[in-house]
Chain A
Amino acid sequence: GAGVSQSPSNKVTEKGKDVELRCDPISGHTALYWYRQRLGQGLEFLIYFQGNSAPDKSGLPSDRFSAERTGESVSTLTIQRTQQEDSAVYLCASSLWTGGNEQYFGPGTRLTVT
């Protein structure tokens, strides 16, 4: 079946602009996660959605970051007033459920803030 998809694959934006990144999880997966990977760095957890529950936003680095998810489908990660330090690959993952279940990653969106 289809894996996790993300769009766009690449995004170049000017400092101060807002960007929206999209993730479409594997069909039937109830949990969805966003991660960030800066160049040469490890993966950093950002936010997690489980079904219709309120998201766990504990990893969001600032209030310029927000995310939404409609039911158990598409999620969008929005970064407002982008800064150069936001340049990174943003990865989305989904899993059947939480509680330690296996997470499968999408191809990522490479964001470059100029």
Chain B
Amino acid sequence: QKEVEQNSGPLSVPEGAIASLNCTYSDRGSQSFFWYRQYSGKSPELIMSIYSNGDKEDGRFTAQLNKASQYVSLLIRDSQPSDSATYLCAVIDSGGGADGLTFGKGTHLIIQP
């Protein structure tokens, strides 16, 4: 049974600070990793994808992957109130790609103005 674990939060961060979101996964065969943002009542929106160890930066967002530790993180720099949402970590085994994304239950992030 593949599992993706996230701290449910809420994680409260002051505006302008760095928000750090963490995720661990159980399946060592996982090859592809994603962060989605989900506002209340809305569908998930893809923020970042990462496939190899190390850091990947896109604007204010940085994804970090450590396959040896089975750990993925998302950093949000200069946090804004509009970043307040639930952040979902998702993984997929691209060896087959046939069983869809496995999602964590999400971390609720609150950016305090």
Chain A: residues with CB nearer than 8 A to chain B?
31, 33, 35, 41-43, 45-46, 48, 50, 56, 58-59, 89, 91, 93, 98-108
Contact = CB atoms under 8 A, between A and B. Distances in A.
Contacts of A101: 32, 97
B24 to A, nearest CB: 15
Interface residues of B, number: 26
B99 A102 contact: no
Contacts, number: 67
Interface of B: 31-32, 34, 36, 42-46, 49, 51, 88, 90, 92-94, 97-106
B26 to A, nearest CB: 14
A102 B49 contact: yes
A106 B99 contact: no
Given A48-B100, A58-B99, A89-B43, 6 more contacts: A42-B103, A43-B103, A45-B100, A50-B97, A100-B97, A105-B43
